[in-house]
Chains A and B, each alone.
Chain A
Amino acid sequence: MPRYSEFKRVVLGLQHNRSPAGLKVAMEVAALLRLEVCGFFVKEEGLANFAALPFARELNPLSGAWQSIDVERLSLQVDAAASSAERLLAEAVSRRGLSFQFQIVHGSITETIASLTRSGDIYVASVPTSPLERATGSFQLLLDTALRSAAAVLLVPSRLDRQTGSIVAVANDRNDICIDVATAIAGAAKEDLVIIEDFAVETEPQVATGAARAEVKITRLRGDQVRSWNTRDIVSFFQPLQERLVVISGNTAADVIATSIAGARRVPVLIVEPTR
């Protein structure tokens, strides 16, 4: 079972569709847990193939106009986007004094995630802002890939409602790993910890990080069948908590409830120990 102390890196893709919220949350988590940041940019082969087709053209959503794609120009644009991504990451980490690495990978993004992430990583999956972006289907593919990987997944909604507030752990049992991770983050962030106990036995949850626990105010709440809640249930329950981050362990239907919480509450959800 990976404990919070086993997290080493925050991994995030910095493609054209990167969201400001994703980068911001990635930096915060990395800073709180003192993790290395690993950014990558994928030069997709499929895109190069498409550009070489005689009828290839692209629709610019800002102007609403079509323009032809030139292989050479596309290559230059991709190179420029990669440089821009590296520069962006370097600036973000330098503000927080974090160490980082940046990679440019050739291939597909899903393959890259699968190959690049490992146990001890937190992969940052940012929900695209644009509906058109979502329509490409790449985000869902990417999320599925990340959830299948050995890394924890930090799901970041396109817009954040709060920057301060409690850290919430949605625990399946008293030994749920999410409690340990949430305690560590709450201690680092000097925030309260709320444990939603989705288990029948009313025993005190196991909070492993003793030092962190001593500094964190812990509130325990009952939350039956959390993973089956709909959006309204989530909003209703979470409203008084004014949370800034939810930590959930990656058991059955974790991705569904994580997406629901992130969407309804507009807070990042960290899915630890994802289902393999």
Chain B
Amino acid sequence: MNDSAKQPPADTGGSTGVPSQGNKPDSLPPKTESAPSGLAALTAEQLYRSTDLSKLAFETTADIAPVEELVGQARAASALRFGSRIDKPGFNLFVIGPHGASKLEAVRAVLVEQARHQPSPSDWVYVNNFVDPDKPIAIKFPAGRAPGFKAAMHALIDDVKTALPAVFRSEDYQSRRTAIDETFQKKQGQAFGSLREEATKKEVVIVRTPFGFALAPTSNGKIIPPEEFNALPEAKRTELQNTIQVLERELERIVHQLPQMETERRDEIRRLNRETAQFTVGQLVEKSKSSFGDLPKIVEVVERVRADLVDNIALFISEGDDSESRSDATNERAGSPFDRYDVNVLVTQGEHDLGVPVIEELHPTLGNLVGRIEYLSMRGVLVTNFRLIKAGALHRANGGYLLLDVRHLLSEPFSWTALKRTLYRGEIAIEDISRFLGLTNTVSLQPDPIPLKIKVVLFGDRLLYFLLTTFDPELSDHFNVVADFENDFDRTPENEAVLARLSAMIVKRLDLRPFDRQAIGLLLEHAARLADHAGKLTLITDRLQEVLSEADFWAGEAKRKIVVREDVEKAINERIFRLSRLRDRAQEAVIEKISLIETSGSHVGQINGLSVLELGGFSFGRPSRITCQVRPGAGKVVDIEREVELGGPIHSKGVLILSGFLAGRYALDTPMSLFASLVFEQSYGGVEGDSASSAELYALMSALADVPIRQDLAVTGSVNQHGEVQAIGGVNEKIEGFFDICNARGLTGTQGVLIPQANVQHLMLRRNVVETCAARRFAVYPIATIGDGISLLTGLPAGERESNGRFPQGSMNQLIEDRLRSFASIRKSFGKDAELDRLST
């Protein structure tokens, strides 16, 4: 097992991401010289570019002035400035870029600054609709004045609650009320009194029966018993009956008048109550209205309240027997009768320091976005009213900016479509999700929609944006401005200074210990490594922030007040150590010859390719043995990976390019009569990418020329049909992966890696790799063409076609071409392609 896998990273330069003093090769093998082909290995300066902080004078980050967060994002900043200022529908922003680029923080900082200078938007309230309570009315207020109106209405109702009962208990009211009652009682009494007098004169009385009234004949003040009545003369009986009939008609007439009299009495009392209330309420309403005289709409609302108060004075006063129910009704809880006069302040700008709000909604459910209507369970029934309308993020951000993560938005049912619908309508209509789902069938509200003037800013990665543009044509109707955040920016001394200032700002924001100059220097070099480019600096600031935080921690552990380079190095190493278990196991398998990789000697048709594995955010390089077998055939290069469906399409494409290369370079006058098979040995998972295509070509050329390839070298790079070696990704990890194997086995001084020349600019190798290369015990060769590579790998010149049309004798190309011609001859001798095909398969 490799020692580096057992040791903590601080002691193992072999696993660190930065050049390290430790873990230098134990032995001192021969130093690498220029390759036999004459190709020079890269110098240490080409393998690692140090930070140049000459443009920024500071001792520690405490000395550095802060910088705006939107550094290196000129394109995004321009889009942001345009998108946030253009005042036309559809020009909302879609901010895209890599995860961790602090897009939200940067955009928010810009918007907050911009918002500060804009006039505050309106407050919005909902008030009761006295005509149709199911449709609450939305009212606009100048910024910050809504709470004042709510307070004024509370004060009004409190005053009315006190004043009205007092007025209705007053002597004046009671006298007038008593007068009305007495008048009507007198009127009724007079009607019945006349009847009673008339009846008494005629010896008849009004009698109460269980269910009514009757007129009965009397004698000596008592009702005549039947036997006495029957004993009366016929004429007398008839006369009495006639008299009673006349009185009965009069009684009937009076009784029929009673409801009308009662109605008149109630009307009189109602009129008195209204007059009394009008006067009292009027004074209080005028007082409440006085502060809002400049707002005609509010005055209108107050007038409606005045009318309703006068119509509903019974809420404020109760009469005698109703006092118990009044104590219930006056209870100040939800559902109280006085709620109708309340004011639901939906949004007010008083709570913001800024000019316009900048709101971020982290959980954009439909309700959180467009607002919701809540319900109360009262005696088992769900009830609601305008006071239970709750603002959504769109309400709170109305007039300003709303920041939403598009992934969160899309993962909430109905939210994306609701947002588009709202932007299309230009007003916020509260939609009840339970109705969408058919979950409830209770009485709900239809509040007035509120006009919307907002700038929505969506944040997401590029893939989501591109998918949306492809599958949702409405996206471009609403999100016309794309702010595309760069992943990195040029590594100039000026930009290094900028990133240093940005780092200093993060240090300050996170309240970390100051970082010294060397620590920041290493951080910036790490930023270049994260960018996979020596000439670039990553703008994924979250990654830098993580290193800063961890370095601060290690400085604390070391009882240092200032974070030094050693702490940053430890932070980077520790991060790698935590994630590198799989890398170490893979290297262990090579060292123990479970995975067969040779790092010395030479073999025909066998080469060390390099691949990169990325798991859980950690990438590492791993050598793979690629072998090739050739024999006569029908001109087919078989990719075994593809045949067994372990190769991806790009890998297959790379292999097919090899056929093109061979066909274009060799034996132009003879048919291609080759059968070749290529395989990644001991590869049991999928293979994708074309970065091994140059290695495959070298193996194929070696097999055709029957010339061995050096096993102390590893190769990466793709190739085109003209034999040009093209850039690949993960070059640092690949080099380090092969270096670790060689280092573990003992460096021979001849070992190295062939990389595409175009990848030289990407090199930011680990410190121990750089130091070993500087000591010429390991080498990295830049390769431009297949010819350069094959010369280095075989020690034979590639050979250029001469004027006679042939390659120089002894060159690789001559050997290959001769072999191909021999295959053609063999094929010809067999005569039939079909037979050859049969043999091939």
Q: Which A residues have a C-beta under 8 Å from some C-beta of B?
A: 15-17, 20-21, 46-47, 49-50, 52-53, 55-61, 64, 66-67, 69, 74, 77-78, 80-81, 131-138, 159-163, 231-232, 235-236, 239, 242, 263-264, 266
Contacts and interface: CB of A to CB of B under 8 A. Distances in A.
A159 B318 CA distance: 13
B208 A137 contact: no
B585 interface: no
Given A59-B251, A134-B192, A135-B193, A50 B214 contact: yes
13 contacts: A15-B208, A20-B321, A46-B222, A47-B209, A50-B207, A50-B214, A58-B211, A77-B209, A135-B193, A159-B321, A231-B175, A235-B178, A239-B171
A136 B175 contact: no
Interface string B206-225: 11111111101100001111
Contacts of A47: 207, 209, 223
B265 to A, nearest CB: 11
B213 A58 contact: yes
Nearest to A135: B192
A59 B255 contact: yes
A77 B208 CA distance: 13
B260 to A, nearest CB: 12
B interface, size bucket = 35 or more
Q: Which of B213, B224, B251, B319 gathers most chain A CB within 10 Å?
A: B213
A15 B208 CA distance: 10
Contacts of A20: 321
A59 B212 contact: yes
B811 interface: no
B322 to A, nearest CB: 10
**Is chain B's interface secondary structure helix, strand, loop, or mixed overall?**
helix
B69 to A, nearest CB: 69
Interface string B558-590: 000000000000000000000000000000000
B226 A52 contact: yes
B195 interface: yes
Contacts of B251: 59
Interface in B166-216: 169-171, 174-175, 178, 182, 185, 188-189, 191-193, 195-196, 205-214, 216
A61 B207 contact: no
Of the listed residues A15, A60, A132, the one surrounded by the most CB atoms of chain B closer than 10 A to its CB is: A132
B640 interface: no
Contacts of B222: 46
Contacts of A74: 209-210
A77 B189 contact: no
Contacts of B229: 53
A61 B178 contact: no
B212 A60 contact: yes
A138 B221 CA distance: 13
Contacts of B74: none
B192 A50 contact: no
The 4 A-B residue pairs with the shortest CB-CB distance, nearest first, are A135-B192, A131-B188, A52-B226, A58-B212
Contacts of A232: 175
Contact of B214 (A56, A81, A236): A56
B210 A77 contact: yes
A126 to B, nearest CB: 14
Given A59-B248, A132-B192, A136-B213, A49 B185 contact: no
B209 A264 contact: no
Q: Which of A135, A159, A235 has the most chain B CB atoms closer than 10 A to its own CB?
A: A135
B258 interface: yes
B333 interface: no
B323 A264 contact: no
